[in-house]
Every structure is written in C-alpha cells, then in structure tokens.
C-alpha cells in the first residue's frame, strides 16, 4: 500500500514485542530466570501498547509467544529449584 496524501501510514511491528521474543528465546538457553522475567515484562508492555495503538502497531502474536515462552522458562526454573531442594532434603534424610 502506498503512503502519501490520502493514505494512512502502514502499521509497524512493535519493537518491544520483537525484543521480548528474542530475549525469551535466547534467554531460554543463557539465563532463564532473569531473561524470563525481562521477556515477560516486555511482552506484557508490548501487548498493552499494541492494543492501545488503534491499529498503528502490529506484533501481538510475537508478544503473546514471548509471554508464553517466558512463562515456560520461569516454570521450568521453579521446577528445577523444587527438584534440587527435594534432592537435598532426601540426601540429608538418608544420612546417618
């Protein structure tokens, strides 16, 4: 669609949504707890900005996917911590 007189500007992808998705994916392998929190906050902010933009911004799917990945990251970290605590507790319980 051409821009100019009489044509509205083409919608742009929200850069925060893209950044949140990249941080969520890369953080999954590098630093899950920190990256998960950062990606989750950025994804939620991007979703809000996209909804409030009145169609000027796109990227809602990217923000939603980043949010899901971040939640999975945080859940896996929590599961790992709980598993580690259980291992330590059982190891101490079995010691004389």
Query: In the chain, where are the structural domains located?
Result: 14-94
Residue 91 is predicted with a pLDDT of 86
Q: Which residues of the chain have pLDDT under 50?
A: none
Q: Give me the DSSP letters along the chain.
A: ---BTTBPPPPEE-HHHHHHHHHHHHHHHH-HHHHHHHHHHHHHHHHHHHHHTTTSEE-HHHHHHHHHHHHHHHHHHHHHHHHHHHHHHHHHHH--
Residue 14 is predicted with a pLDDT of 95
């Amino acid at each position: 669609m051409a821009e100019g007189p009489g044509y509205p500007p083409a919608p742009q992808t929200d850069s925060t949504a893209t950044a949140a998705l990249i941080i969520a994916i890369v953080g999954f392998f590098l630093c899950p707890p920190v990256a998960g929190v950062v990606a989750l906050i950025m994804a939620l902010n991007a979703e809000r900005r996209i909804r409030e933009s009145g169609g000027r911004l796109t990227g809602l799917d990217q923000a939603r996917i980043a949010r899901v990945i971040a939640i999975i990251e945080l859940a896996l970290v929590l599961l790992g911590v709980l598993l580690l605590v259980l291992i330590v507790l059982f190891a101490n319980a079995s010691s004389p």
